[in-house]
């Protein structure tokens, strides 16, 4: 798609008294840019989905921890009349709370690691795409500079540098 856009610009008619300026079919150029944009990595959407899933995961873990806590509190109230059972229920309640908190912390840690890893992969993919775009832009500018410096009507002494882009 970048090669098509480069070809369209390099083959465009020049504008009178506009050194280095040309007329390009706007709709075709915009269509090509839209197609390029559509081919960007899907990791951006995946990262958003993962962040939403992480938030849901954490909220579910909090709800589960609250439910366990309320259940333990209800159980403790029900057994308050009996001393030995009160001691046992408090111990069980504390154990359940500790388990819920440790489970919640572990789930949060795992979710954070997973989202961080997915975001790192997305960042790497976007960085690679940006570097490729910068390289292509530099090559395009170099080709445009060579074309602009060539005398009008004269055959080029050397072919313009090619733009090789992997998408």
Place of tokens 């775009």: 133
Residue positions counted in the chain = 167
- Whether residues 61 and 116 share a domain: the answer is yes
Measure Cα distances from 161 to 13, 140, 156 in Å: 20, 8, 12
Q: Is residue 162 part of a domain?
A: no
The answer on 53 and 10 residing in a single domain is: no
> At residue 134, what are phi and psi to the nearest 5 degrees?
-65, -45
User: From the centroid of its chain, how far is CA 137?
Assistant: 22
Reading the block at residue 95, the tokens are 């154990």
pLDDT in tens, 62-73: 899 899 988 888
- Name 21's bridge partners: none
When pLDDT is averaged across residues 35-49 and rounded to a whole number, the result is 74
Residue 91 is part of which domain span? 43-126
The model's pTM is 0.35
């Amino acid at each position: 798609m970048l090669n098509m856009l480069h070809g369209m610009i390099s083959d465009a008619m020049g504008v009178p008294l506009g050194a280095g300026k040309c007329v390009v079919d706007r709709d075709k150029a915009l269509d090509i840019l839209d197609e390029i944009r559509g081919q960007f990595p899907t990791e951006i959407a995946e990262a958003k989905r993962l962040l939403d899933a992480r938030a849901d995961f954490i909220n579910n873990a909090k709800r589960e921890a609250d439910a366990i806590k309320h259940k333990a509190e209800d159980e403790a109230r029900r057994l308050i009349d009996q001393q030995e059972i009160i001691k046992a229920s408090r111990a069980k309640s504390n154990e359940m709370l500790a388990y819920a908190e440790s489970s919640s912390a572990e789930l949060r840690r795992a979710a954070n690691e997973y989202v961080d890893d997915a975001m790192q992969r997305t960042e790497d993919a976007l960085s690679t795409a940006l570097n490729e775009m910068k390289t292509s832009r530099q090559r395009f500018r170099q080709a445009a500079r060579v074309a602009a410096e060539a005398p009008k009507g004269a055959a080029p002494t050397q072919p313009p540098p090619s733009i090789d882009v992997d998408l």
